[in-house]
Amino acid sequence: MKDENLLGPWVRRFLLEHLVAERNLSRNTQASYRDTLMLLLPFASKEGGSPIDRMTVEDLTPAIVRKFLYHLESTRQCSGATRNQRLASIRSLAKFIGMRSPVHLAWCTEIRAVPFKKTAQTVIEYLEKVEMNALLNQPNQRTPLGARDHALLLFLYNTGARADEVARLTVGSLQLGRSPSVRLHGKGNKFRTCPLWQTTTTSLACLVGNRDLNGSVFMNRVSQPITRFGIHGVVTRYANLASKVVPTLATKRVSPHTIRHTTAVHLLRAGVDINTIRAWLGHVSLDTTHIYAEVDLEMKAKALASVDLSGLKARPERRSLPSLVAFLKAL
Is 260 an annotated catalytic residue? Answer: yes
| Beta strands across the sheet bearing 191-195 | 174-175, 181-185, 191-195
Given a cut of 70, is residue 42 above it in pLDDT? yes
Question: What per-residue confidence (pLDDT) applies to 4?
Answer: 79
Given a cut of 80, is residue 324 above it in pLDDT? no
Catalytic residue among 18, 86, 148, 283: 283
Per-residue model confidence as pLDDT tens digits over 173-223: 999 988 999 999 888 778 999 999 999 999 999 999 889 999 999 999 998
Is 292 an annotated catalytic residue? Answer: yes
Read off the pLDDT of each residue in 311-325 and give the average, rounded to a whole number: 46
Catalytic residue among 257, 261, 266, 278: 257
Catalytic residue among 162, 168, 266, 278: 162
Domain boundaries, the chain: 7-112, 129-295, 301-330
pTM metric for this prediction: 0.72
Percent of the chain with pLDDT over 70: 86
| Full DSSP string of 251-310 | GS---HHHHHHHHHHHHHHTT--HHHHHHHHT-S-HHHHHHHHHH-HHHHHHHHHTS-HH
Helices (H), 127-272: 129-136, 144-159, 163-167, 198-208, 228-242, 256-269
Per-residue model confidence as pLDDT tens digits over 44-55: 999 999 999 999
Given a cut of 80, is residue 280 above it in pLDDT? yes
Catalytic residue among 91, 100, 187, 228: 187
Catalytic residue among 86, 260, 261, 266: 260
Percent of the chain with pLDDT over 90: 67
Question: What per-residue confidence (pLDDT) applies to 278?
Answer: 87
Q: Name the pLDDT band for 321 (thresholds 50, 70, 90).
A: very low
Given a cut of 70, is residue 308 above it in pLDDT? no
How far apart CA 166 and CA 148 sit, in angstroms, is 13
Q: Name the pLDDT band for 270 (thresholds 50, 70, 90).
A: confident
Question: What per-residue confidence (pLDDT) applies to 310?
Answer: 53
Given a cut of 70, is residue 322 above it in pLDDT? no
Question: Which CATH topology does 129-295 take?
Answer: hpI Integrase; Chain A (1.10.443)
Q: Name the pLDDT band for 302 (thresholds 50, 70, 90).
A: low
